[in-house]
Amino acid sequence: MITDIPFIGPHLANRPNFQKVIANTGWLFADRIVRMGVGLFVVVWMARYLGPQQFGLLNFAAAFTALFGAFATLGLDKIVVRDLVKHPERRDVLLGSALGLKLAGGFLALLITGTAIALIRPGETLMCWLVWLCAAGFIFQSLNVIDFYFQAHVQSKYAVYAANAAFLLIALLKVALLLGRAPLIAFAWAGLAEIALASLFLMAAYRFNHMRIRAWRFDKSVAFDQLKDSWPLIFSIFAVMIYMRIDQVMIGQMLGDHQVGIYSAAVRISEAWYFIPMAIAGSVFPTIIHTKTQSEALYYQRLQKLFDMLALLGLSVAAVMIFSSSYIVQMLYGATYAAAADVLTIHIWAGVFVGLGVAAGGWFMAENLQKYTLYRTCLGAATNIVLNLYMIPAYGPKGAAISTIISQGCASVFFNALSSKTRPIFIYQIKSLLLYGLVLRLYFFCKKATRCPLSSF
């Protein structure tokens, strides 16, 4: 156990909530590490097998479908988790109402996505099939409301079990498809099967914890309250998907699917580590809400430490990638994808702002400032689209990577300087980017060290 580790155990022995956060974060890390290892192996094999053109087709379909994911999720994730933390006795009605909303949203998203691809890619039967199969996953993802329960109780290991079981089974299926030289459409079917299996395994995990989905009930008033709180997040998620995925869609429309394949290969590597800030922030989110009720000073102190940690992490990853991108791309994808190295060297810097944006998300929720989440993501989406209109024709995939960095910075950090309500968090973010907190802590650490020259200051 972690409490048995020398130098760490004594500090955690009397902090059960912190122990749960660490354990929960550990499960989320384990989930992503397995996915990053096995998933990267399979994706790289698929990219080499399919080639940039077909790999681009598949990624265009996934990116296009993701644009409409907000209509399926309805922004309910953090809202339901928050309500489950505050009112655990209302579990069945909260989950049942969320399920009803997400089912309706899933069918709506499926119809919108299918109609939209038919309009922008008329006559391309294969592309339409790929998009329809990707969008069908929205229906099965409605059962992710079970994961909200596990998040609220800091028990993410059950969701990890379910997701990884489905992921590993489908990874084996994809390997079989690769060995059998299956057509492109088969991999889209495999992606849908993974989502369906993960949902079934989540149901099994919920039942394993002696709870029944049949006990859930839909309540119109509860559903209305959930939508009332989440509607700004619906549009903000839509905006997030635009500035996260519109680049691939615009590259496909302007330059062709081959360039989408090149760009997607770089983005796969660049975004591979995003699970770290998301796992940390996701596990700390319930604790942040609890801390606010105890001490405002401690609440902001912990937020600053979170910003410092994620900024340092992002800057470190980006710095390392500058010197290793060419080698990594060549090793993973081969000479066919050599152009992806330059894209990766640029796109990796967006991760710095992603981490700060994820950390700020908990603060927006705790302060009930969801509308500002909408405003900032709309700014990021608009910035990305406008920049892409110029940067993609002028610089190709590298232009899209530059647009992503600027739009992420605008949405995650610089937007917060525009309002007096969000300006305090902007100051914390700037301090973290300047590594102010890290330098200050190192200074005081050295000042206390008896043999350190700084101790004389």
User: What single string gives the DSSP state of each residue in 43-109?
Assistant: HHHHHHHHHHHHHHHHHHHHHHHHTTTHHHHTT-HHHHHHHHHH-GGGHHHHHHHHHHHHHHHHHHH
Q: What is the DSSP string of 360-420?
A: HHHHHHHTT-HHHHHHHHHHHHHHHHHHHHHHHHHHTHHHHHHHHHHHHHHHHTGGGGSST
Confidence of residue 453 (pLDDT cuts 50, 70, 90): very low
- For residue 60, tell me if it sits in a domain: yes
Question: Tokens representing 242?
Answer: 């635009």
122-126 average pLDDT score: 90
Amino acid identity of residue 157, one-letter, is: K
Amino acid 74: pLDDT? 82
Give the integer Cα–Cα distance in Å for 166 and 84: 26
Give the integer Cα–Cα distance in Å for 340 and 59: 15
On the question of pLDDT at 14 being above 60, the answer is: no
On the question of pLDDT at 24 being above 90, the answer is: no
pLDDT in tens, 275-309: 788 877 777 766 766 777 777 778 788 788 888 88
The answer for residues whose C-beta is within 8 angstroms of residue 94's C-beta and 6 or more apart is: 80, 83, 84, 87, 222, 226
**39 DSSP 8-state letter:** I
2-12 average pLDDT score: 46
Amino acid 229: pLDDT? 76
Tokens 């053109």 correspond to: 53
On the question of pLDDT at 273 being above 60, the answer is: yes
Task: Report the Cα–Cα distance between both ends of the chain, in Å, rounded.
Answer: 41
63-89 average pLDDT score: 81
Give the integer Cα–Cα distance in Å for 424 and 421: 7
- For residue 455, tell me if it sits in a domain: no
Q: Average per-residue pLDDT in the chain?
A: 82
- Neighbour tally for 314: CB within 10 Å: 25
Confidence of residue 457 (pLDDT cuts 50, 70, 90): very low
Give the integer Cα–Cα distance in Å for 114 and 109: 8
CA atoms within 13 A on the CB side of 421: 9
On the question of pLDDT at 12 being above 50, the answer is: no
- For residue 23, tell me if it sits in a domain: yes
Question: How would you class 186 by CB atoms within 10 Å of its CB: exposed for 0-12, middle for 13-18, buried for 19 or more?
Answer: middle
Give the integer Cα–Cα distance in Å for 102 and 83: 16
* 429 or 222, higher pLDDT: 429
pTM, full prediction = 0.77
| From 71-75, 317-321, 352-356, 384-388, the region with the lowest mean pLDDT | 71-75
Q: What percent of the chain has pLDDT over 70?
A: 86
26-51 average pLDDT score: 78
132-148 average pLDDT score: 88
Domain with 25, as residue range(s), is 2-445
Give the integer Cα–Cα distance in Å for 250 and 336: 22
- The number of domains in the chain is 1
Amino acid 442: pLDDT? 56
- For residue 457, tell me if it sits in a domain: no
Confidence of residue 158 (pLDDT cuts 50, 70, 90): confident
Q: What is the DSSP string of 166-189?
A: HHHHHHHHHHHHHHTT--HHHHHH
Amino acid 145: pLDDT? 83
- For residue 454, tell me if it sits in a domain: no
- For residue 450, tell me if it sits in a domain: no
The answer to whether the CB of 262 falls within 8 A of the CB of 337 is yes
Amino acid 318: pLDDT? 92
∠142-204-217 over CA atoms, to 5°?
50
- Neighbour tally for 158: CB within 10 Å: 21
63-74 average pLDDT score: 86
Amino acid 452: pLDDT? 44
- For residue 456, tell me if it sits in a domain: no
Tokens 């983005």 correspond to: 267
Amino acid 286: pLDDT? 67
| From 118-122, 148-152, 387-391, 398-402, the region with the lowest mean pLDDT | 148-152
pLDDT in tens, 391-400: 999 999 999 9
The answer for residues whose C-beta is within 8 angstroms of residue 395's C-beta and 6 or more apart is: 402
- For residue 452, tell me if it sits in a domain: no
